[in-house]
Amino acid sequence: MAEKETKKSEIREYISSILIAVGLALVIRTGVVQAFYIPSGSMEDTLLVGDYLLANKFVYGAPIDIPGTNISLGRLPGLRDPQPGDIVIFRSPVDKERDLIKRCVAVGGQEVHVVNKVLYVDGERFGDPPLSKYTDRNYYPAAVNPRDNFGPFKVPEDHFFMMGDNRDNSYDSRYWRSVPQELIKGKAMSIYWSWASDNRGPYYRGLTSLPGVVGTYLWRLPGRVRYGRLGDVIH
């Protein structure tokens, strides 16, 4: 009888440990840090396709979502709001199922104006980030495409104007205006893993669930790791 009670106690302890671990993981993911994968080149060359990064959700006040849904129950208090220059993860204003990552260039009350690809905030030129780039020599008028000529546009209070560092290849606030505070999820913090793309195939079916790994030989995987980016702090 005592042996049965001991086994039951061990099982209860085991289950309790699992539940505590799961609970802590959910708390950390909800309010402290979360992992994200970079699937597109809109932030090149600051962030590359195949980068895996950690986001600090605590600094801005993390949204409290029902797990597995985009239903928000509010936000935890944050230390500060996004500031110009921050690289921010947020829910897309036009597709609530997607998370986006862009650089905040202006906040509520500021005026944004893009003239022939040059960004001005409150009438002063906003310096290009060190690894930003332009890939198209053409300039489009605002009536054709807001990419190169936009505004002036005053950012509403509690909103943030976001732009990709790859300025000619980023679908951002120039197209869908500013991001409301309730869609902000976190601040990009550091790169913990990075794969270079490999489209030479053939597909290895056992790895199809891993982004960036599909379509590669196993023996090529070590050579695709961008070792120099691992642990980089994101600026």
Average pLDDT value for residue range 206-211? 47
Instruction: Report the chain's mean pLDDT, rounded to a whole number.
Output: 82
Please tell me the distance from the alpha carbon of residue 234 to that of residue 46, in angstroms, as a whole number.
8
Q: Which residue has the tokens 């195939």?
A: 201
- Of 7, 16, 40, 102, which residue is the catalytic one? 102
Lowest mean pLDDT among 20-29, 59-68, 96-105, 198-207: 20-29
Average pLDDT value for residue range 140-167? 97
Number of helices followed by number of strands (H, E) in the chain: 3, 13
Helical (H) or strand (E) element with 223: helix 221-224
pTM for the structure as a whole: 0.78
- Of 4, 17, 42, 187, which residue is the catalytic one? 42
Amino acid 34: pLDDT? 85
Q: Answer with the residue of higher pLDDT: 113 or 214.
A: 113
* Catalytic status, residue 170: no
Q: Answer with the residue of higher pLDDT: 79 or 88.
A: 88
Phi, psi at residue 6, to the nearest 5°? -65, -45
In the structure, what pLDDT confidence band is assigned to residue 17 with cuts at 50, 70 and 90?
Answer: very low
Q: Report the greatest alpha carbon distance in the chain.
A: 84
DSSP 141-169: -TTT-TTTSEEEEEPPTTEEEEE-SBGGG
Q: Kindly state the percentage of the chain with pLDDT values over 90.
A: 62
- Which one-letter DSSP state was computed for residue 10? H
Average pLDDT value for residue range 31-38? 80
Name the architecture of domain 35-229.
Ribbon (2.10)
Amino acid 28: pLDDT? 43
Please tell me the distance from the alpha carbon of residue 109 to that of residue 84, in angstroms, as a whole number.
12
Q: Answer with the residue of higher pLDDT: 29 or 231.
A: 231
Amino acid 95: pLDDT? 92
Q: Answer with the residue of higher pLDDT: 176 or 63.
A: 176
Predicted confidence (pLDDT) at residue 210 exceeds the cutoff of 70: no
Q: Say which residues have a Cβ less than 8 Å from residue 68's Cβ, sequence separation at least 6.
A: none
Q: Which residue has the tokens 């300025």?
A: 167
Side-chain-side CA neighbours of 97 within 13 Å: the count stands at 0
Lowest mean pLDDT among 22-26, 122-126, 173-177, 187-191: 22-26
- Which one-letter DSSP state was computed for residue 217? -
In the structure, what pLDDT confidence band is assigned to residue 38 with cuts at 50, 70 and 90?
Answer: very high
* Catalytic status, residue 102: yes
Please tell me the distance from the alpha carbon of residue 228 to that of residue 235, in angstroms, as a whole number.
16
Amino acid 191: pLDDT? 96
Could you state, in order of their start, the residue ranges of all structural domains in the chain?
35-229
In the structure, what pLDDT confidence band is assigned to residue 24 with cuts at 50, 70 and 90?
Answer: very low
Predicted confidence (pLDDT) at residue 153 exceeds the cutoff of 50: yes
In the structure, what pLDDT confidence band is assigned to residue 64 with cuts at 50, 70 and 90?
Answer: low
